[in-house]
């Protein structure tokens, strides 16, 4: 079937909770995808960082195939031979000692919130039902009813109440507002080290350090949502490393599954994750053999540091070129490593549509921001080719 027929089926029979570009992808390899008409496009989004290592990375496909021929699902009722190795290797990568695996990012965030509350009541000694957790304006942590309860994006939140209580929201980047919001019943501060969905917002220098200090003083857990910023995207394994900050809890997802299987995780020390006893939390698919085998290969790839290094060097080049775009078209460029939010002086949708016509896939976030997050294995010449097209499109409009 051709693009129009397939688009019509999606339009008629899927809920309209997305507004995709009018392209129907059939195949992909590395940084490139091919649509049903055989046209090639450079992927400058990488599934919001879930495809950090490129589409169908040979090592990851090989790990998946090997595991498909062994065992794929046993549930957590039984242990399997990938599980102990996966949790050990991920804990080591993060410098912590325990892992709680889930599937989607939102589930990992929910798990971190439950962890913080349970830890608050059982370890910190907060009176029953009194725990509060601080979040930031512009946050994006997923789509569950509890998570949208503290969203400040009307599209994400409106018509989904009644909302979960127990959250306070302060401006992102404002350490004094955070200091004023914490009290003796604060059990956690949930933070994206760089806000992805909000438009790749990098906080002021020193902010993550201040958050760490405030959490320590208040006896609250620093919960770093590194689902999009982590696993190489910003040029380091975790984005908190840019300020040498160590959170109490890492929340991971997206790239952990190598673009093949959804797998997410909460990673923390025993005194935090040790609060869970059998039956108190769980997931049928969380930590399944197939996802663990793939994630183990992801961790092995990350341990070489090769992708972090590529993100650093190519990211510097990306930001140099974006910084040279004409000021009458581009108001601001934010980001770190191979990750950028390009704030335009007009709507971003026509830019992503025109880029698509030229064979470059990028996506707007909100009205005026173009988000660039190519696979970290992208060739420098391909990156330059995409940036040439961006320059041309901006000159056209």
Ligand X SMILES: *Cc1c(COP(=O)(O)O)cnc(C)c1O
- Identify the CA nearest to 231 among candidates 397, 366, 60: 60
Tell which one of 111, 228, 308, 368 touches ligand X (CB under 6 A).
228
Residue from the set 225, 248, 364, 382 that interacts with ligand X by CB under 6 A:
225
Q: Quote the CA–CA distance of 149 and 393 in Å, as a whole number.
A: 38
86: annotated active-site residue: no
Instruction: Looking at residues 240 to 299 of the shown chain, list those that interact with ligand X (rule: CB under 6 A).
Output: 253-254
CB of 195 to ligand X, least distance (A): 8
Give the total of residues touching ligand X (CB under 6 A): 16
- Measure the CA–CA gap between 12 and 316, rounded to whole angstroms: 43
Q: Interface with ligand X includes 363 (CB under 6 A)?
A: no
**Of these, 46, 51, 60, 106, which contacts ligand X (CB under 6 A)?**
106
From candidates 67, 104, 201, 368, binder to ligand X by CB under 6 A: 104
Among 227, 293, 294, 370, binds ligand X (CB under 6 A): 227
Stretch that binds ligand X, among 14-22, 26-34, 101-109, 300-308 (CB under 6 A): 101-109
Token pair for 52: 């950090």
Question: Do 178 and 170 contact (CB within 8 A), yes or no?
Answer: yes
Give me the catalytic one of 35, 225, 248, 382: 225
Tokens of 105: 């990012």
Q: One of 140, 150, 167, 207 is an active-site residue; which one?
A: 140
Q: To the nearest whole angstrom, how small is the minimum distance from the Cβ of residue 45 to ligand X?
A: 12
Distance CA 341, CA 286 (A): 32
Choosing from 110, 192, 248, 297, the residue that interacts with ligand X (CB under 6 A) is 192
Q: How far is the CB of 265 from ligand X (least distance, A)?
A: 12
Catalytic site residue 140? yes
As measured in angstroms, the least distance from the Cβ of 149 to ligand X is 14
Nearest to 251 by CA among 234, 276, 231: 231
Between the CA of residue 96 and those of 78, 216, 268, 298, what are the distances in Å? Answer: 24, 17, 5, 18
Asked whether 247 and 229 are in contact (CB, 8 A), the reply is no
Q: List the interface residues with ligand X, window 23-62 (CB under 6 A).
A: 48
Alpha-carbon distance of 315 to 358, in angstroms, equals 22
**Is 225 one of the annotated active-site residues of the chain?**
yes
- Are 39 and 358 within 8 A, CB to CB? no
Q: Which of residues 128-187 bind ligand X (CB under 6 A)?
A: 140-142
Verify binding: residue 203, ligand X, rule CB under 6 A.
Answer: no
Give the span between the Cα atoms of 272 and 94, in whole angstroms.
Answer: 15
Name 34's Cβ contacts closer than 8 Å, sequence gap at least 6.
25, 26, 27, 28, 40, 41
- Rounded CA-CA distance 251/96 in Å is 12
Q: Indicate which residue of 254, 285, 307, 382 is catalytic.
A: 254
Stretch that binds ligand X, among 190-198, 209-217, 301-309, 379-387 (CB under 6 A): 190-198
- Which of these segments, 8-16, 161-169, 224-232, 387-395, binds ligand X (CB under 6 A)? 224-232
CA dihedral angle for residue 10, residue 11, residue 14, residue 20, rounded to 10 degrees: 80
Beta bridge partners, 266, equal 100, 251
Positions annotated as catalytic residues are 140, 225, 254
Binding site for ligand X (CB under 6 A): 48, 104-106, 109, 140-142, 192, 196-197, 225, 227-228, 253-254
């Amino acid at each position: 079937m051709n693009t129009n027929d397939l688009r019509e089926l999606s339009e008629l029979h899927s809920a309209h909770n997305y507004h995709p570009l009018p392209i129907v992808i059939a195949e992909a390899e590395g940084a490139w995808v091919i649509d049903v008409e055989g046209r090639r496009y450079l992927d400058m989004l990488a599934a919001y960082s879930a495809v950090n290592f490129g589409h169908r990375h040979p090592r990851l496909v090989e790990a998946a195939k090997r595991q498909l021929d062994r065992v794929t699902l046993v549930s957590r009722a039984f242990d399997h031979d990938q599980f102990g190795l996966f949790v050990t290797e991920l804990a080591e990568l993060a410098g912590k000692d325990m892992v709680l695996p889930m599937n989607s990012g939102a589930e990992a965030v929910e798990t971190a919130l439950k962890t913080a509350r349970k830890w608050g009541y059982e370890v910190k000694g907060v009176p029953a039902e009194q725990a509060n957790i601080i979040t930031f304006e512009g946050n994006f942590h997923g789509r569950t009813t509890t998570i949208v309860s503290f969203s400040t994006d009307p599209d994400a939140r409106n018509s989904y109440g009644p909302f979960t209580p127990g959250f306070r929201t302060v401006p992102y980047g404002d350490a004094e507002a955070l200091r004023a919001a914490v009290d003796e019943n604060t059990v956690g501060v949930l933070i994206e080290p760089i806000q992805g969905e909000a438009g790749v917002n990098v906080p002021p220098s020193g902010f993550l350090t201040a958050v760490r200090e405030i959490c320590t003083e208040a006896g609250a857990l620093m919960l770093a949502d590194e689902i999009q910023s982590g696993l190489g995207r910003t040029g380091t394994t975790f984005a908190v490393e840019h300020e040498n900050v160590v959170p109490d809890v890492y929340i991971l997802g997206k790239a952990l599954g190598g673009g093949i299987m959804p797998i997410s995780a909460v990673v923390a020390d025993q005194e935090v994750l040790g609060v869970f006893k059998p039956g108190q939390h769980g997931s049928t698919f969380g930590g399944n053999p197939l996802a663990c085998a793939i994630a183990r290969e992801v961790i092995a790839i990350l341990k070489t540091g090769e992708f972090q290094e590529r993100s650093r060097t190519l990211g510097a080049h990306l930001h140099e070129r974006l910084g040279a775009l004409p000021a009458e078209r581009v108001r601001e460029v934010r980001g770190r490593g191979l990750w950028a939010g390009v704030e335009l002086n007009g709507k971003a949708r026509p830019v992503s549509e025109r880029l698509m016509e030229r064979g470059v896939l990028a996506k707007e976030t909100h009205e005026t921001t173009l988000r660039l997050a190519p696979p970290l294995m992208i060739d420098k010449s391909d990156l330059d080719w995409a940036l040439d097209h961006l320059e041309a499109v901006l000159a056209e409009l």
